[in-house]
Structure 1
């Protein structure tokens, strides 16, 4: 009987060892497995407060691991489940679970990319100053020089080419043609790379239908972007933008000066909402108090709301408007008398 019991115990131990070995081999294979042998980088983001199951599910969805199970088990076994760090990582589909877990827990393989945010209403100088402040470029001139209509700038460099470049007047630069947006760029991106990305985005935003509408109206992209840039600097909401676009076109048709402080600010390189009588007499083609018609070109980068407003303006009888800078409310008027009344009521 003792021999029989000993044999049974031996069998049980053998089975346990065999099962354990099988499970271990399966586990080791699982955590050592990679999706593919070829290199294929994937930008992976771990959001703040993400749990292990959230991260593993996202890794599976984005095709970086085959199964969340082995990732969950591995990080728990290694006691690094609380060490997974939020952030951006440049992972690779030839990495196994162990390598991925190590990268996410130690902050390794951080993204080679970064984000920049170009704001609607910024001009070229604003963009250049921002890029210097963010450490993207060293000097503002590294950026601004490439926007000029000259040889060896983005008007001739192959990387910067966009379908509309040939349509830009010879006396104009890229002001207004650099689409404002949030961009992902490589950390070692050059000024040329950034301009090329912004030009390409503008090219994509101006659809064939929009181009057809410009042709129907007898307007050029340069004119539309010029009007859009003034609107972008003058008012805030899409509805107000469309109404103000209608006002500008009404004034242009009637031969009335636009009288925009935004264009004068561009000439004076200031951000003032109103100007003195001496400033209003400035002899500049961007002084739309002194000269009728549109200024020579855009004064800033416009978002889609302003561009759409310039192309599809509201039909209105208004000829005047003013904005409350504190509330953002815009007040419209059909006559100068009504406009002056609005000034007395709302400009304090």
Structure 2
């Protein structure tokens, strides 16, 4: 168990955020129809009304849409960026990395702008924010784009409701810069991994585990996401109360100091568990699950954008970013926006 707490707050400022939701919303009634379920089943059992499916749109294209919106909001140009970080669970292709594809579509193919890809499944955005905070706060980079983009609709198991009804596609971009004023800071960060849950969430194809040339059928089956939702939830819930206490102690804050809790939108059950555990007013928890579903790594930055846009997180406020991911891993960060 390791506590990733900075010896002093790190001066990082979120300059702008943006999201991109592809196409038109897909209702739970449409999911019921495709999954051959009784109308109303998906919404009743999962607590989700709609989500977005990208169709033929590429993951990198969604990322670029979100990035351009964030750049416009910050009044930055793409060539102002010192670094592009693609923080996603499932890339468009393995080689070259998704950061390269995003850089090219932003018109930077001949600019030499460095790229970095970070994959911590559903916690990719939070992990990227943690990793980049150190060099950014020290001045190695001035302006950084972190973008998460996911297309889980392409790997859904339509015979398992907790999979086919739970996920949605989308992207979110966050622009960062160094803050020397003390107004915006990362107060603390904490990550843990419990690999006893390694088999609870799997997408087995795409790496070197299965040889596509010798077993193409295994590749086809492995390209469908498999999840033991109950097992994943139980393991995460076992560790999360202590994890949350440790995170807040390391930041020297209490829940009364927190203006907004921005969680990974894993499921309605997971969000309900967070409400019971934290015992904070309902409006402090940013819950967008019913409208967009679990967007994997994009869930947290999409929720963060909503919190800022709706005025639920203002400059100087403290936010708690928390979540779980395949592994099972737990991640959290306390930051002053």
Task: Give TM-score scaled by structure 2 length.
Answer: 0.21
With CA pairs under 8 Å and 6+ residues apart, which has the higher RCO, 1 or 2?
Answer: 2
In proportion to residue count, which structure has more strand? 2
Task: Give TM-score scaled by structure 1 length.
Answer: 0.20
